[in-house]
Amino acid sequence: MRSLIGLNPEQRKAVQYTGGPELIFAGAGSGKTKVLIHKIAYLIENNISKPQNILAVTFTNKAANELKTRIEKFFNKKILMPWVGTFHSIFAKILRHEIKYLGIDSNFTIYDTADQLELIKSEIEKNDIILGGFDVKNIHKRISFLKNKMIYPEEFEPRVGNKFDQIVKKVYERYQEALVKANALDFDDLLLYPLKLFERFPEILEKYRILFQYILVDEYQDTNKPQFYLVEALARKHRNICVVGDDDQSIYSWRGAEIENILRFNEFFPDCQVFKLEENYRSTKKILKAAAEVIKNNENRADKTLWSNNSDGEPIVLIEAQDEYDEAQRIAHFIEKEILTKKRTFRDFAVLYRINIQSRVIEEVFRRNNIMYTIIGGVRFYERKEIKDMISYFRVFLNPKDDISLKRIINFPPRGIGKVTLNLIEDFAKAKNITIYEALSHLDFIQLDKRQRNALQSFYDFINKFRKLLSKLSFEEWSRVLVDDLGVRGYYKRIGDEDSIDRLYNIEGLLNDISEFCRKNENPTIESYLENVSLISDIDTWEDTKNAVSLMTLHSAKGLEFPVVFICGLNDKLFPLERNGEIRNLEEERRLFYVGLTRAKEMVYLSTTNFTNYLGMPTQSKPSIFLSELPEDTLAIDSGSRTSTTLKRKKSNLRKERKSKKSGELEVGDRINHRIFGVGEVVKIEGYGDNARINVYFENHGLKTIIAKYLTK
């Protein structure tokens, strides 16, 4: 049986089990994707399920595309494919068919992060909401977090006396109303609306229960509340559900992911069978030993131990640098040395960091040393101005209620519609409670001069012309006719500067992208293309064929692997990251470090600095607490021209102080005070002295991790 060939004993058991709910703990590098593919193949090969009745959910398009490609390769022929995609793409597809039952047009626009922020700013301005110094991006993050916790605007109760919450509630209400008016959904709505559908229309839920006879979910440790309820609702009757994940790699609680979904899976499905994939095929034994020693300091985790038949490998190199420039120079030196002595290429290396600002100095040093690099999470192709402009045209033709997109294109290329003219249209639309597109059909009722009226009428006619053409031309042909009629090539050529020539090339790149999309998809439409563009993530655009060092945050590195990995900035307050004197989730920060270590196949370099300048003024810094958790026999210390005793002494002191009485006089059970959270009780102490991490339970705020120096007895 081909679906069982090449599997180790535990993988084989996991693939063969079809007796109900199944939880597979798949450690880093343990062949998780292979198991998913063989599981799907086993179901099809043994006629347990037809391909079209299998739903396989992933967290990135990259993972979904890899699954599809490898399933096709496995069967060595074109087969009717299972439903494979991300949560957002799968449920966006379902909504296109079913959202009409909620009174929403199926041609809805999916707003990306930039669109969401623009809409929030617009609503704040329209409704004269005073922000009081609070940042729009933080308001947006809070709204998204509330949606991920399934707290709707009308249900959100601001904390007493919390000004930020009060502002969020006002903005949240207006923002959601504006989305409905624009016939638009944000990413969170793509999960919340299906839940509303399933709740209000049980027959629709039943339809998809019958369709999805077997459900597999990848990266289950990253699921949030809506995702859990969607999966549970679909699997409740037949209970053919298989979830795969690793709680030690749960790193997204800040955006609503709930680690309890995987840790308590057997409570939600008491009859589930548990399998543990613990053999690692990626990393050396030394790397695995270091990672295991670090992660065992977490209490909230399932018991498992990764092992490997790979070689012992080289020790992890611990770099002690003077500051971030010295650190970046040392990283560049080791890259050059590895290339010279081990015949590596730039693509073999990844430099990982906790926050984006850390890349600035590294980029500067790499440019000076002629080291080719690429940044994952930089400005993506679809976020470039000229591409956003064209995508906005597509959106308006499909959904003219989309005011955000319409305002973006109303004077691109320039057609004589300035801010004054736009304000007149917007004021009229607001007074009549209609969209800007609808206002364009009432120009005779707006105080406009002849030039303004002609420009607006011409734009309105152009929109209607191309809306009609959508049904007459293929999407690929239609997009090329649009670019020709808009005259964007001539516009950029007339400007003629370097930026404009780049933009011109990018427009051609967009047309090529559309051609490629049409070639790969059986029924390519403007709707499916826009959906694909909206749901692309940073990692989906990463190409391992490019000969360049990859620079990215540790969060972006999840799911990737490299022969050599550098993790920089292992300093107190930076990693684990401290905000306002509080480490919000020390165990998650440790999981993030674990993810970084387990990206490496052969070699890991860690770096710490004596001084840091990332978080403000240059300050003397201590090594990260995580360095004290690494076993000595997995490390080799490099201090450049200086001796290595400094860091050894620091590590020794860290260990000694961790073993001695922790954080001065504070003990578990002590009652303490915090200037914001008030009185609380110490429940756990981790670390030493003023920088110890203290877990405190506050009656009105729950469990918080606070740095000792910010507490008083």
Q: Tens digit of pLDDT for each residue in 557-600?
A: 998 999 999 999 999 888 998 876 667 789 999 999 999 999 99
> Could you tell me the pLDDT band of residue 494, with boundaries at 50, 70 and 90?
confident
User: Nearest Cα to 45, choosing from 73, 91, 4?
Assistant: 4
Which range, of 204-213, 442-451, 526-535, averages the lowest pLDDT? 526-535
Query: What does the pLDDT read at residue 197?
Result: 96
32 is catalytic: yes
Looking at CATH, the fold of the domain delimited by 109-182 is given as Arc Repressor Mutant, subunit A (1.10.10)
Whether omega for the bond prior to residue 413 falls within 30 degrees of 0, making it cis, is yes
Is 288-379+544-659 in the same CATH topology as 109-182? Answer: no
- DSSP H or E run through 141: helix 136-148
| Cα of 326 vs its chain's centroid, Å | 31
435 is catalytic: no
Query: What residues contact residue 468 under an 8 Å CB cut-off, 6+ apart?
Result: none
Half-sphere exposure of residue 204: CA atoms within 13 angstroms, side-chain side: 19
368 is catalytic: no
Query: How far apart are alpha carbons 43 and 428 in whole angstroms?
Result: 59
Q: Which of the residue ranges 483-497, 606-620, 656-670 has the most confident prediction, judged by mean pLDDT?
A: 483-497
Q: Tens digit of pLDDT for each residue in 379-396?
A: 567 778 899 999 999 999
Q: Please list the residues that pair with 215 across neighbouring strands.
A: 55, 241
Which is the catalytic residue, given 218, 327, 402, 587? 218
What are the b/e assignments for 486-520, b being 16+ CB within 10 Å?
Answer: bebeebbeeeeeeeeeebbebbeebeebbeebbee
Angle CA(18)–CA(7)–CA(273) in degrees, nearest 5? 30
Per-domain boundaries in the chain = 2-95+191-279, 109-182, 288-379+544-659, 381-534, 671-710
CATH superfamily name and code, 2-95+191-279: P-loop containing nucleotide triphosphate hydrolases (3.40.50.300)
Query: What does the pLDDT read at residue 582?
Result: 66
Which is the catalytic residue, given 10, 11, 22, 32? 32
467 is catalytic: no
What is the arithmetic mean of pLDDT over 258-284? 94
Query: How far apart are alpha carbons 278 and 302 in whole angstroms?
Result: 12
* Reported CATH class of domain 288-379+544-659: alpha beta
Which is the catalytic residue, given 10, 112, 123, 219? 219
Q: First CA to last CA across the chain, in angstroms? A: 67
> Could you tell me the pLDDT band of residue 662, with boundaries at 50, 70 and 90?
very low
Query: What does the pLDDT read at residue 618?
Result: 64
Which is the catalytic residue, given 60, 86, 227, 249? 249
Which range, of 101-110, 141-150, 357-366, 432-441, averages the lowest pLDDT? 357-366
**DSSP character at residue 6:** T
Query: What does the pLDDT read at residue 501?
Result: 80
> In one letter, which amino acid is 211?
L
Token pair recorded at residue 51: 């391909």
Which is the catalytic residue, given 12, 276, 590, 599? 599
Mean pLDDT of the chain: 88
Evaluate whether 639 touches 646 at the Cβ level (below 8 Å): yes
Helix (H, G, I), strand (E, B) or coil at 393: helix
Selected from 3.40.50.450, 1.10.10.10, 1.10.486.10, 3.10.20.30, the CATH number assigned to the domain covering 381-534 reads 1.10.486.10
Token pair recorded at residue 497: 């500067």
Query: What does the pLDDT read at residue 675?
Result: 74
Rounded-to-5 percentages of helix, strand, coil across the chain: 50, 15, 35
Torsion, Cα 646 647 649 653, to 10 degrees, reads 140
More confident residue, 616 or 537: 537
> In one letter, which amino acid is 615?
L
Alpha helices in 614-679 (DSSP H): 645-659
Across the beta sheet with 83-86, what order do the strands follow? 83-86, 54-58, 214-217, 241-245, 22-26, 273-277
Evaluate whether 573 touches 609 at the Cβ level (below 8 Å): no
Q: Tens digit of pLDDT for each residue in 37-83?
A: 999 999 999 999 999 999 999 988 888 888 888 888 888 766 778 89
218 is catalytic: yes
> In one letter, which amino acid is 374?
T
User: Nearest Cα to 245, choosing from 270, 277, 203, 281?
Assistant: 277
Query: What does the pLDDT read at residue 246?
Result: 95
Model confidence at 654: pLDDT above 60:
no
> Could you tell me the pLDDT band of residue 659, with boundaries at 50, 70 and 90?
very low
Query: How far apart are alpha carbons 238 and 24 in whole angstroms?
Result: 19
Query: How far apart are alpha carbons 287 and 313 in whole angstroms?
Result: 8
> In one letter, which amino acid is 520?
K
Q: Tens digit of pLDDT for each residue in 515-555?
A: 888 888 878 889 888 988 888 765 555 566 679 999 999 99
Which is the catalytic residue, given 18, 33, 322, 374? 33
522 is catalytic: no
Torsion, Cα 547 552 554 559, to 10 degrees, reads -40
